[in-house]
Amino acid sequence: MATTYNNLYLDTRHKLKSAGIESAQLEAREIVCAAAGKSREQFYRDLTLYASDQVEAQVTDLVERRLAGEPVAYLIGEWEFYGLPLTVSPDVLIPRMDTEVLAEQAILLARAAGEGGRVLDLCAGSGCVGLAVAANVPSTRVVLADKSDGALRVCKQNVRRNELNARVTCIQTDALEPPPAALWDFDVIASNPPYIPSGDIAGLEPSVRDYEPRMALDGGTDGLDFYRAIARDWKKALRLGGTLLFEVGMGQAPDVAELLRWEGYQDIRIFQDTQGIQRVVSGVADIEDGGHER
């Protein structure tokens, strides 16, 4: 018996909710849209129409994969961040709302830098932070940098998808190594590096542990390897008065702030996310410590 899109959505939502998936409503809509090849607007418009057997079968397959633990963003191949549609794959972390705090601070600093400002998104993954900056600050040039070939492919797709080719470039580099000569003179370096302690990865929820790239999660024994390397080696890539911005894991902000102090950064600040968790730490490169005159 044929099923309307509305009933297909309600049935999908019920299955997800029964499995304890908190965002069942949003995920059900995204799964039905992906299976039907519809935009959200088309989905709402067509709620009373009947779905084909092919669409129903596709929804059933996607729901089974979701209930087995696969994140919905990987099922549908895209996710939204800061109002931007982004392609995602298992080569990159799924953009999370927590990271909008990092993007927001980078946007404010890029605006303050004025015409010709330069922003580096280091450990870029999908490119979500740098692309949010480029989309919201037209005067800024952005570089997306990541070590992973797969992540860079996704970055390039997202640059094209959001029509930002004129102001965004992608470069392969290892954040644990000093910056190559091509990467210097930035007003802002924003980084959401791997920060899970190696020993904690086995205890992560399966949707993260089994599907998201370990390279983007593993921050070393105490989770701070990338913070140490970037704070120490990448200051030389900042202009005088340029800011290093880090996203941090829960409870890591004091340690990362201390690392920045140790490396000579000034005006160290901590910003909370919407849950009141300390989520972003920033520090400014001063004149004695390797910043470049603008």
Q: What does the pLDDT look like over 71-88, one tens digit per residue?
A: 999 999 999 999 999 999
> Is the pLDDT confidence value at 219 over 50?
yes
Residue 294 pLDDT grade (very low, low, confident, very high; cuts 50, 70, 90): very low
pLDDT at 44: 96
> Is the pLDDT confidence value at 292 over 70?
no
Distances (CA, A) of 259 to 196, 228, 239, 245, 263: 17, 7, 20, 13, 6
Distances (CA, A) of 37 to 43, 50, 193: 9, 14, 34
Residue 192 pLDDT grade (very low, low, confident, very high; cuts 50, 70, 90): very high
Average pLDDT of span 92-119: 97
Residue 1 pLDDT grade (very low, low, confident, very high; cuts 50, 70, 90): low
Average pLDDT of span 192-214: 95
* Angle value at C-alpha 192, between 80 and 148, nearest 5 degrees: 85
**pLDDT above 90 as % of the chain:** 94
User: What predicted TM-score, i.e. pTM, was given to this entire model?
Assistant: 0.93
Element (H, E) at 7: helix 5-18
Average pLDDT of span 90-103: 96
> What is the chain's mean pLDDT, rounded?
95
Residue 287 pLDDT grade (very low, low, confident, very high; cuts 50, 70, 90): low
> Is the pLDDT confidence value at 52 over 60?
yes
Query: If you compute the radius of gyration of the chain from its CA atoms, what whole number of angstroms results?
Result: 21
pLDDT at 2: 81
